[in-house]
Amino acid sequence: MEKQTLFEIHQQSGNSFKTLAELHTPTGHFVKCTDSPQLGLIDINGNALQVGGLSMIGNVFNLFKDGDGQGMQMKIDLSPDNFVVYADPNQLVSVFNNLLKNGIQAIPDGREGKITVVLFQEEEMVCVKVTDNGVGISDDKKDKVFVPNFTTKSSGTGLGLAISKNIVESVNGEIFFHTVADVGTSFFVRLPIIRSGELEDAH
């Protein structure tokens, strides 16, 4: 992946979110998309959006553990390291909300649900992996997962993953998945880690 300056990322993000704002009418759990996302340097495993001493990832996880995920086996494994990324924190929260919600909804009736969130580093990227033991994604649907308006659910707009993909890619990240039918699915969000030299350039 070709590296870009923070300014270039910011410029591209503005254009991407303008398209999203025209595409999506916000409903339910998804944060409203605007023409001007509040991009900044945030530590997704540290003080960013702390509630009760939890990191951004930990807070989102606990909201689902105490809500829709009650009665399921929910586990989280966070790296002890801090990872600074350049993004809109509220938009990232909406991405993680969507992945956890989808994972929980993918688990069929009669099966004990298992949801795992893992945060780790891969080279110069921080990776968030959300795994469920749901029905998986069939071969004929794999290519449509990130297509706007596509959904396998009886309700919903089918825009959650399409918007998540745009949010992640607008800051030079990537989102993808591995799935096995009737075993489960893992979604991965990878974001560039901003190092100290880049921190100084950004101020």
Instruction: Give the count of alpha carbons within 13 A of 191, CB side only.
Output: 31
Is residue 19's pLDDT more than 60?
no
Q: What is the mean pLDDT of the chain?
A: 78
Is residue 9's pLDDT more than 50?
no
List, in sequence order, every beta strand (DSSP E) within the chain. Answer: 40-43, 73-77, 84-87, 114-122, 125-132, 174-180, 184-192
Identify the burial level of 46 via C-beta atoms within 10 angstroms of its C-beta, where 0-12 means exposed, 13-18 middle and 19 or more buried.
middle
Beta carbons within 10 angstroms of residue 60's beta carbon: 24
Model confidence at 201, in pLDDT bands (50, 70, 90)?
Answer: low
Element (H, E) at 19: helix 6-23
Longest C-alpha distance within the chain, in Å? 53
Rounded Cα gap, residues 201 and 203, in angstroms: 6
The 10s digit of each residue's pLDDT in 115-131 is: 999 999 999 999 999 99
Is residue 13's pLDDT more than 90?
no
* pLDDT score at 77: 92
* More reliable by pLDDT, 20 or 116: 116
Q: Which domains does the chain have, with CATH numbers?
A: 6-202 (3.30.565.10)
Indicate the length of the chain as a whole number: 203
Is residue 33's pLDDT more than 60?
no
Rounded Cα gap, residues 25 and 32, in angstroms: 8
- 């997704």: which residue's tokens? 44
CB 130 within 8 A of CB 100: yes
Is residue 87's pLDDT more than 80?
yes
Identify the burial level of 148 via C-beta atoms within 10 angstroms of its C-beta, where 0-12 means exposed, 13-18 middle and 19 or more buried.
middle
Is residue 4's pLDDT more than 50?
no
**Token output for 189:** 């969000």
Query: Phi/psi of residue 66, each to 5°?
Result: -90, -5
Is residue 55's pLDDT more than 50?
yes
